[in-house]
Chain A
Amino acid sequence: DSGVTQTPKHLITATGQRVTLRCSPRSGDLSVYWYQQSLDQGLQFLIQYYNGEERAKGNILERFSAQQFPDLHSELNLSSLELGDSALYFCASSPRTGPDSGNTIYFGEGSWLTVV
């Protein structure tokens, strides 16, 4: 158990709908990262937050948004869902931001999203 908690574990929804994925980082971690893992794209970095502020952005679609709250939990909002959005969405956390061998990024178990 990495200590990163994600809910829901599984979600099935229809095209055009909106969903929210939730992440609680490890105790004490200030950075939260979101990744998407699909069959044809591998693990893709979406976005990072540090202590409530956006720090880095990757291949995140405009239909997707995220935020990190004062209690450090984070939510990833996916809207106008398309079939191609079906994937595993991972949240990860680390104590700080920045490249550092002492700043290990730990992943949660993921949220399986199926868009039908």
Chain B
Amino acid sequence: GESVGLHLPTLSVQEGDNSIINCAYSNSASDYFIWYKQESGKGPQFIIDIRSNMDKRQGQRVTVLLNKTVKHLSLQIAATQPGDSAVYFCAENSGFSGYNKLIFGAGTRLAVHP
């Protein structure tokens, strides 16, 4: 299958460099955020999440930063590899307590060049 979202912003990086993908979210009441990676023809794959009571969370080669003041989320990928090439989506949990209604951003395409 083909990727969707042909008009996505694209971030081009060299292999080995660090990548920073940014996301602005819409709901100041959102309390949980997730980054997903979507490769061509596949479903979104969970990368890392963060709750609103934190401003930073680290995983393996990835770090998520949350700035609630300006409603901004970023994903940092260290030592970017060709396998990191994909579309990255941020998602916010937007809904009433007890509901899990993820609202996705438009996505950013990451292109890693050797």
Interface, chain A (partner B; CB < 8 A): 2, 4, 10, 31, 33, 35, 37-39, 42-45, 48, 55-56, 58, 87-88, 90, 92, 94, 97-101, 103-110, 112
Interface residue SS majority, chain A:
strand
Residues of A within 8 A of B101 (CB): 45, 48, 56, 58
21 A-B pairs, CB-CB below 8 angstroms?
A33-B102, A42-B4, A42-B104, A42-B105, A43-B89, A44-B104, A48-B100, A55-B98, A55-B99, A55-B100, A99-B97, A99-B100, A100-B32, A101-B32, A101-B49, A101-B51, A103-B100, A104-B34, A104-B49, A107-B44, A110-B1
CB distance from A11 to the nearest CB of B (A): 12
A90 adjacent to B42 (CB under 8 Å): no
Question: Which residues of chain B in 57-114 are interfacial with respect to chain A, using CB atoms and an 8 Å cutoff?
Answer: 89, 91, 93, 95, 97-107
Interface residue SS majority, chain B:
loop
